[in-house]
Amino acid sequence: MGGKKSGVYVDIGANHPVRGNNAYRFYGMGGWQGINIEPTAECFRLLCKMRPRDINLNIGVGTQNGVCTFSVFEDDRLSTFSAGHEAQVSRRGGNRLVERVSVTVRRLSDVLAAHAGGKAIDFMSVDTEGRDLDVLMSNDWERFRPGLICVESVSFGAGGVELPEIRQFLEKVGYNWLYFNGTNSFYIDDGRR
């Protein structure tokens, strides 16, 4: 990010406000502010307590506005809206399904229209356990173009193999692939190079 002292981030599937959080470093710099989207009730409560400068939303993001079933696991980092991901986690064992809850889901473009305040988005993180492509598809890429995107681009149990559909989609909307770290892929807006 070139050492920027201030900026705007969007963290979709923020989970814990500090531990393993892709946007926490920016928040800690003091001049940055963000939008954190987290459907897990306990993580949302912690975000509100520990990240008061941010806009914190207890919702999910998907291709259509509505209400969806959210599967909450004992290890909340594995909680998901994806039935396929829930089945994979359950088959693998070691993580107990705690509950299924109904959660409001909104399109990313609607969330950004309501909360980004017309500001340019510098960084966006997407980590939604099997629904990352749906999140990306729910944005208006002509209106909202983060400068840098970090997206979880492996499926649970895929052994660190990058999912090609995420790269194909982001390249189609004008982003260039930069790096894959074994879990996340990073993309830069072609127009900001």
Confidence of residue 182 (pLDDT cuts 50, 70, 90): confident
Distance CA 89, CA 30 (A): 37
DSSP state of 121: P
| N- to C-terminal Cα separation, the chain | 12
Q: How far apart are CA 137 and CA 190, in angstroms?
A: 18
H helix runs in the chain, sequence order: 24-28, 41-50, 83-92, 108-115, 132-137, 164-172
Q: With 80 as the cut, is the pLDDT of residue 192 above it?
A: no
pTM of the model: 0.93
Which pLDDT band, with edges at 50, 70 and 90, does 91 fall under? confident
What is the C-alpha to C-alpha distance for residues 20 and 4, in angstroms, rounded to an integer? Answer: 21
DSSP letter (8 states) at residue 107: -
The 10s digit of each residue's pLDDT in 28-46 is: 998 999 999 999 999 999 9
List 2's β-bridge partners, or say none: none
Q: Where are the domains of the chain?
A: 6-58+108-192
What CATH code is assigned to 6-58+108-192?
3.40.50.150
